[in-house]
């Protein structure tokens, strides 16, 4: 059976299988992408590319119901969240159409001599995108849209469990009028992906996924001197230092942990609470996590659908069981039912336990008690990850101090789930390199060419 298959995690039923690309298919895809870059990518105007991207955004909205249902089947995302993801992918795509002049326009430089100097932004060529299963539309939009706006062309290897959404995305780009080769869905094996990265016609690779996947791709890219952008794992801290609305803070904490059934790289995963708020926070947080409805992802009241696969649920169960065996306290949850896993809370995790450093990719929150701002920052920075972070405090000066000290690519103060197309997304340390979203995304795979005229 092909590695590319739609397996409904709620039922375990295999709904469809898709063939893996042959080596001839891969060669044809690279050749078409290179030809599209050398013609369309170099000769189309920014306005023409913006018009095509707007059509892709429109197609996301027109096909919203169909697209949302696909990812509910593929990876178990609750329907309302799936609909929201399609909307966000449309907004991201439209953002790059709306800001095409800023993305592609010349940047004048002040010089001492006579004449002029500008930085002119030019595409690099063919890019490979390796995308994950947890946000099948959103992840692709934030990689593909800015790079197509520049005139790069895209080979997209989606996660093996997302072949239906991958095909639907490719169809939207074709139906919008992008030329053949500008955007292609290629169902690659890992060995074929390595071959694509090594190919002289391919100029860069972007990966969203695990540390292991990112390291493997970066090694191959480095060997062949290819630009690489990595968005990897995270174990984001949620720091609560003061509040005049504890119920609101708890609600934000739960939302930040349970979004996408807890399967989000930048979800809050470690809850670091000042001593005088700890007991009340833990009680309310535990109650809310326990009350999160687990069930059919197509049902309106479902908060937690299944995890993306049975294997994912089994990995999470093993992590929680190991944490408890090493001395952590299971406050609530922790009982798997097939691919379904309930809202779970752990306390008593210490720095000598595996759980202190690991990422829990599912609805598991670890709560820490701290005695000071300084200890909160120390715990927050005490992992190898550095993606996002959250700080809740009523003290504006404290918010600034803590935000400056956190080792992360993103800090959100007194707010969660506040991503938008204009805001860059990315991390430091083992959470990756580079940025997606916002105008910074269009700086990753671009030739910033100096043109000096006397």
- State residue 256's pLDDT score: 98
Residue 424 lies in a domain: no
Residue 428 lies in a domain: no
Final residue in a domain of this structure, among 216, 232, 248 = 232
- State residue 2's pLDDT score: 61
Residue 164 lies in a domain: yes
Q: How far is CA 218 from CA 132, 140, 187, 189, 255, in A?
A: 16, 19, 20, 17, 33
Residue 359 lies in a domain: yes
Q: How far is CA 301 from CA 290, 294, 365, in A?
A: 15, 9, 22
Geometric angle at alpha carbon 402, from 401 and 403, rounded to 5°: 95
Mean pLDDT for all residues in the chain: 97
Residue 452 lies in a domain: no
- Is the confidence at residue 452, as pLDDT, over 60? yes
Q: Percent of the chain beyond pLDDT 70?
A: 100
Could you read off the pLDDT of 373-416 as tens digits, one per residue?
A: 999 999 999 999 999 999 999 999 999 999 999 999 999 999 99
Could you read off the pLDDT of 292-320 as tens digits, one per residue?
A: 999 999 999 999 999 999 999 999 999 99
**What are the tokens at 13?**
């039923």
Do 104 and 27 share a structural domain?
yes
Structural domain containing residue 354: 236-419
- Is the confidence at residue 333, as pLDDT, over 60? yes
- Is the confidence at residue 164, as pLDDT, over 50? yes
Final residue in a domain of this structure, among 212, 232, 252 = 232
- Is the confidence at residue 344, as pLDDT, over 50? yes
Do 193 and 266 share a structural domain?
no
- Is the confidence at residue 1, as pLDDT, over 60? no
Mean pLDDT value of segment 146-160: 98
Geometric angle at alpha carbon 10, from 5 and 13, rounded to 5°: 45
> What is the end-to-end Cα distance of the chain in Å, rounded?
63
Which residue out of 74, 85, 94, 265 is catalytically annotated?
Answer: 265
Active-site residue, 265 included: yes
Q: Residues with Cβ < 8 Å from 293, sequence gap 6 or more?
A: 301, 302, 303, 304
Do 313 and 399 share a structural domain?
yes
Mean pLDDT value of segment 317-325: 98
Rounded CA-CA distance 115/453 in Å is: 6
Q: What is the CATH number of the domain that holds 336?
A: 3.40.309.10
Active-site residue, 231 included: yes
Do 287 and 144 share a structural domain?
no
Residue 453 lies in a domain: no
Do 228 and 267 share a structural domain?
no
Contact (CB, 8 A) for 199 and 34: no
Do 212 and 361 share a structural domain?
no
Do 294 and 145 share a structural domain?
no
Could you read off the pLDDT of 43-85 as tens digits, one per residue?
A: 999 999 999 999 999 999 999 999 999 999 999 999 999 999 9
If one counts the domains in the chain, the total is: 2
Q: What is the CATH number of the domain that holds 188?
A: 3.40.605.10
Which residue out of 74, 85, 164, 231 is catalytically annotated?
Answer: 231
């Amino acid at each position: 059976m092909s590695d590319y298959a739609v397996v409904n995690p709620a039922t375990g039923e295999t709904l469809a299988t898709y063939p893996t690309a042959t080596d001839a298919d891969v060669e044809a895809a690279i050749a078409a992408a290179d030809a599209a870059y050398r013609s369309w990518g170099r000769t189309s105007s920014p306005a023409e590319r913006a018009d095509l991207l707007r059509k892709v955004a429109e197609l996301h909205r027109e096909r919203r119901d169909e697209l949302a249902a696909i990812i509910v089947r593929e990876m178990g995302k609750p329907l309302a969240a799936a609909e929201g993801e399609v909307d966000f992918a449309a907004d991201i795509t439209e953002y790059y159409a709306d800001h095409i002049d800023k993305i592609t326009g010349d940047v004048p430089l002040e010089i001492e001599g006579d004449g002029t100097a500008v930085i002119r932004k030019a595409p690099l060529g063919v890019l490979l995108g390796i995308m994950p299963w947890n946000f099948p539309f959103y992840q692709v939009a934030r990689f593909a849209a800015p790079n197509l706006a520049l005139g790069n062309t895209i080979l997209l290897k989606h996660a093996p469990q997302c072949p239906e959404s991958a095909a639907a995305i490719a169809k939207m780009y074709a139906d919008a009028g992008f030329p053949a080769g500008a955007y292609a869905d290629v169902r690659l094996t890992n060995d074929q992906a390595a071959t694509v990265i090594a190919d002289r016609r391919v100029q860069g690779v972007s990966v969203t996924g695990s540390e292991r996947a990112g390291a493997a791709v970066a090694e191959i890219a480095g060997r062949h001197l290819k630009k690489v952008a990595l968005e990897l794992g995270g174990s984001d801290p949620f720091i609560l230092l003061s509040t005049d609305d504890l119920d609101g803070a708890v609600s934000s904490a739960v939302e930040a942990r349970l979004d996408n059934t807890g399967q989000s790289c930048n979800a809050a995963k470690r809850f670091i609470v000042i001593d005088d708020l700890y007991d009340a926070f833990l009680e309310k947080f535990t109650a809310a996590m326990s009350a999160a409805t687990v069930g059919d992802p197509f049902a309106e009241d479902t908060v937690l659908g299944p995890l993306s696969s049975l294997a994912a649920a089994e990995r999470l169960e093993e992590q929680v069981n190991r944490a408890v065996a090493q001395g952590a306290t299971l406050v609530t949850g922790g009982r798997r039912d097939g691919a379904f896993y309930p809202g779970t809370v752990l306390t008593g995790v210490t720095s000598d336990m595996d759980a202190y450093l690991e990422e829990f990719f599912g609805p598991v929150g670890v709560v820490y008690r701290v005695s000071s701002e300084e200890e909160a920052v120390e715990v927050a920075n005490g992992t190898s990850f550095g993606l996002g972070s959250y700080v809740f405090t009523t003290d504006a000066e404290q918010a600034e101090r803590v935000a400056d000290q956190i080792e992360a690519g993103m800090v959100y103060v007194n707010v969660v789930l506040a991503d938008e197309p204009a805001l860059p997304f990315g991390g430091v340390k083992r959470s990756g390199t580079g940025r997606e979203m916002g105008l910074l995304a269009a700086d990753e795979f671009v030739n910033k060419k100096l043109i000096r005229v006397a």
